[in-house]
Amino acid sequence: MTMIPKRFTEQALTEWMKGEGPESDIVISSRVRIARNLRDYPYPMLATNQQSREVLDKLSAVMQHEDLKEISHFTLIPLADMNELQKMVLVEKHLISPNLANESRNGAVILSDNESVSIMVNEEDHLRIQCLYPGFQIKEAWDLANQVDDVFEKKLEYGFDERRGYLTSCPTNVGTGIRASVMMHLPGLVLSQQISRILTAVTQVGLAVRGIYGEGSEALGNLFQISNQITLGQSEEEIIDNLYGVAKQIIEHERAARQKLVQEWKMRIVDRVNRSLGILSHAAIMDSKEAAQRLSDVRLGIDLNIIRGVSPYVLNELMVMTQPGFLQQIAGEKLSPDERDIRRAQLIRERFAASQHA
């Protein structure tokens, strides 16, 4: 059984999240994910136990490649060696998908030391390379993902078709196999009631809008994930450039919306963010939905210089620490929803107090 380094499941704020990154008041993170499959092996959902084991062995062997070691030191963690809470925490940290946590045969994750690279094995595809950067660094995330992909492609034969490109389990990923996304905090557009118009325009140019945990998830805390939908018929660079251009426009709209809020509703905004700060600092019970909204208000207050003395890093940390899996990991036991709400409120109070005294 693999010993799982505690930092992967017990530290909410990963090294890559500690970086500032460009436009970090609006863009929380940038991510690129590449889907690949090995030639001559069935997709994970159709593979036998023996076949998926062989895929895992082939992919884990690439970890010894010098070119990969030059990028970072990596740790392979079979999902069979993890308990349910540990898997839940990795989902909450965006290091693995719910699909890999719940349904994988011979599934594993290969993590770089700072967790900026996460490689999922035997999820929907044999190999899913994910690279995460703080702030608006989608081009940098693509460069890193491409480097990692090149190492694997040197050692393995991918499923590839001259006309269709890289072959994937889901037809919507065929072609480049790339999904690029930016996680954006857009309270200005939400409060000024412009968000629906903006997001409708985004979908009309071939991009998708999802919540914080991807497809089917809710946009809690005014956090929206903007990503490409088209993977076939465009080059990787065209996909990245299109997302970059649209995200740049959304950033400009959000800045204008925030400025207008300060000019026209200053006391309302001051009241809103300070109320949320007061509630977060003193509440005895808090559910995850309210926590996300209050943390969004405080983050807006920090960005508008209404609130001082609270670090944005604390907010990034609490985004993960207030999730059900992490709360139970800290407690060392399963908690009922009511118990989680009490623990969540206590944790937020403690973190805010520590931040303001630091």
- Binding positions for ATP: 29-33, 94, 128, 179-183, 210-215
Maximum C-alpha span of the chain: 64
The residue among 168, 236, 229, 224 whose CA lies nearest residue 196 is 224
| Count of Cβ atoms closer than 10 Å to residue 146 Cβ | 15
d(CA 19, CA 16): 6
CA 261, 263, 265, 270 dihedral sign is positive
d(CA 257, CA 268): 15
Contacts of 71 (CB under 8 A, 6+ apart): 112, 117, 144, 147, 148, 151
Annotated binding site: 29-33, 94, 128, 179-183, 210-215
Look at the block and give the residue holding tokens 């044999």: 126
Please check whether residue 187 is in contact with residue 296, taking contact to mean a CB–CB distance below 8 angstroms: yes
| Count of Cβ atoms closer than 10 Å to residue 163 Cβ | 5
| Count of Cβ atoms closer than 10 Å to residue 281 Cβ | 16
Looking at the DSSP bridge assignments, the partners of residue 134 are 29
